[in-house]
Each structure stands twice: as C-alpha cells, then as structure tokens.
Amino acid sequence: MAIRTVTLLLDAMGGGGAARVAAQLSAAWAGMGRKVTILTGDDGRMACPYPLHPAVAHLSLAEQGFSHNPLQAAWRNLGRMARLRRLIRQSRPDLIVSFLDTTNVRCLLATRGLGIPILVSERTDPHGRSIGFAWEALRRLTYPWTGGLVVQSRHALAYFPARIQAKGMVIPNPVQAPEPRPEPAGAARPERCSVVSLGSLRPVKGHDQLIEAFAMLAGRFPGWDLVIHGEGPARPELEARIGALGLADRIFLPGATSEAAARLREADLFVLPSRAEGFPNALAEAMACGLPVISFDCASGPGELIRPELDGLLVPPGDIPALAGAMARLMADPAERGRLAARAPEVTARFSLERVLGLWEAAMLQAAGAGR
C-alpha cells in the first residue's frame, strides 16, 4: 500500500539519538513528497538542535512538569494518551512510527481500535535498561498489536518473545561524514595529546571506568589528557573521583557540546566505555571523523561498528585493566593509531543514509500491510 502521511511520535526533539534519527527520517520522507508530522510529548519549549525539513510539522502535546507519586503519574499518563488519541484521530496518518519503549506503549494504548498501523522502534538495548515492572508488563501486553518492531542490533531483538521477533527488523542509525573543515594554514597541533569520549554523564555510559583506566596510565603518559564531553547526574561522583585520584589537571569534564565533530577532530584517540548501548552514535561519529577508537564490547552496538584490528579495538565488557592495556598500546604508537584511523571512515559507507532509508522503507511497508 502507498504511505502518503506519516506521524513520528517521541518524547521530545530536544536532543539525543532518537531525536536526531527522527529529524533525518522525517526530512527524507518529506523529500519524497510524504506529509510528515512529528508529535512530541513535551511542552514544546525545548529547541530542537537538529534542523527540520521545512515541510515537516512539529506538534506538541503540551505536557510539562513531573509526577510526585504513582497515582499522579498514572493520571498524567491517561491525560497524555487522551490528547494523543484526539490528535491521531484528527490527522489519520497512513502509518505511525513511534520511538522509545514507554512512548511506544502509550502510543499502542492510545490508538487501540483506530485501525492505524504502528511501527514501534526501540532505541536502546532492552537487556541493559529497566523500565520498571508495570511498564514491562504493558510492553509485553501491547507489542503484539504492532505492525512491526525496529531495533538497532540482533542482541536487542533477542530480548523479545518469538512472535515479536518475527515482526522485527534490525536497522542501525545512519552514519554520515562530517562537514569538511580544513585547518587554517600554518595551524599547529597541540603540544599535548588527548583521549576523548562523548556521552551523557550517567552510570550506564561507564565514564567512571574510563577514568579508572586512564588513572592507571597517567604516570606513563604525562603528555596525554582525558576529555569527557557530556552532562548528566553522575557529574558530582565523577568529579569527586577525579579529585581523589589527583588528576584534576589531566581529566576534564567541559560539559555537553553542540560541535561534536570539531571536538573529535581535536583528539588523538576515542574511547567508548559504556556498560550498555543501543547504537553508539558517538562511536560512529568518531570513526567517521577518522579517529582510532577503542570500546568495551558491550552486548549491543560496538561489535557491529568496529571491525577488530582493522578500524578499532574491542575489549571485554567491564574489564578496566584490558581497557587500560588497549589505550596504552595506541597511546604509545602513533603509527598504529594512524593505521586504524585510516579505515575508520569506511563506517559512513557501511551505514550510509541511503542503505538505512531502504531498510526503514521495507519496515514501514511491512508494518502498514500488517496493520491494515
């Protein structure tokens, strides 16, 4: 069947991997002549850092504030689903594409009986993310109603029962080459080298593990620093640990950055220390920028991006001494860093936007057919 109108549903467009992919997909679909609406559950006041196609409409459910107890949370969710149902009934899209676990559940509940096909997408590995007993029960109840499920790795798909896996498709995020930015003539390289990481400061991102690994090497490599770009609730604990290690002049937490490619180009080595991932966009960006990369081989994501010893290194999950050993190997050997960096940008061909759009098109057509 032809898909002429699409509604994308997600929590917010204020940042993050889901918002970026929503912006990319909506632009591509609008360019194909489809009528595309992005519907978010926030109050609409947070600016979207990703440019939206001028033909894409962005509407908000005008939800704001926080729930202070389970009863209030349940009431707010009911109100949110009622507003969502009204908007969906008014627009009558040919297909709804919903992003993120709890949003997917709300969408399936709110649209029950409307006869509109729904394609849900998980953006993290559900093995490594708990959504709570109630939400998990609702996910298992509602996911059989979907026309299809998109996940970012085979490991993520394996989380679900066989009847849901049968509707599933593994679709990675697109990886695009950064805009070329030639260095000014005569620009000198910094005297110090740096290890860089990107990601929100949350325990799942494992920056505490990276700090411990760097601390093991700091004395051997006095010309190197560690820079972790990101913001989040784990900042106080990370700052305290950096201070306890006496490395406040070698390990830096400058906050979130809107110029990831520029920060990556300034670095000599990228490390992803995550405990769990969906599709690690920061790792993909680092490879696209031509950086040598190291990552924990957590169950979802890094092993599908990195080709070990060809364009990066993988180490066993949570093995901090092994991570330190891999870092020391590359920090000590510029030629080895250059060898891995030379092949890293091939990630943009392996995960091109054209290829990813083709996979999404197949998933959408399958979901639309099943939903009807």
Q: Is there a single domain that holds both residue 142 and residue 201?
A: no
**Is 15 contained in some domain?**
yes
Q: 16 CB contacts (<8 Å, ≥6 apart)?
A: none
The pLDDT score that the predictor gives to residue 202 is: 93
Give the range of the structural domain holding residue 21, as residue numbers without chain letter.
5-174+352-371
Q: Is there a single domain that holds both residue 297 and residue 163?
A: no
**Is 249 contained in some domain?**
yes
Q: Is there a single domain that holds both residue 276 and residue 142?
A: no
CB 120 within 8 A of CB 146: yes
Q: Is there a single domain that holds both residue 159 and residue 203?
A: no
CB 308 within 8 A of CB 315: no
Per-residue pLDDT of 239-261, as tens digits, reads 999 999 999 999 999 998 878 89
Per-residue pLDDT of 293-308, as tens digits, reads 999 998 878 998 999 9
Q: Is there a single domain that holds both residue 282 and residue 340?
A: yes
**Is 45 contained in some domain?**
yes
Cα separation, 145 vs 164, whole angstroms: 10
Strands 5-10 and 35-40: parallel
Which amino acid, 269?
Answer: L
DSSP E strands: which ranges in the chain?
5-10, 35-40, 57-60, 95-99, 118-121, 148-151, 168-170, 193-198, 224-229, 251-255, 269-272, 293-296, 313-315
**Is 212 contained in some domain?**
yes
Q: 329 CB contacts (<8 Å, ≥6 apart)?
A: 313, 336
Cα separation, 266 vs 113, whole angstroms: 53
Q: Tell me how far CA of residue 33 lies from CA of 5, 52, 73, 98, 369, in angstroms.
A: 9, 15, 39, 20, 20
Per-residue pLDDT of 151-191, as tens digits, reads 998 889 999 999 999 999 999 989 988 876 655 544 455 68
Q: CATH no. for residue 300?
A: 3.40.50.2000
Cα separation, 166 vs 149, whole angstroms: 9
**Is 114 contained in some domain?**
yes
Give the chain's domain count. Answer: 2
**Is 187 contained in some domain?**
no
**Is 188 contained in some domain?**
no
Q: Is there a single domain that holds both residue 235 and residue 154?
A: no
Average pLDDT value for residue range 314-340: 98
**Is 358 contained in some domain?**
yes
Q: What is the DSSP string of 173-215?
A: PP--PPPP-PPPTTPPPPSSEEEEEES-SSGGG-HHHHHHHHH
Per-residue pLDDT of 186-235, as tens digits, reads 445 568 999 999 999 999 999 999 999 999 999 999 999 999 999 999 99
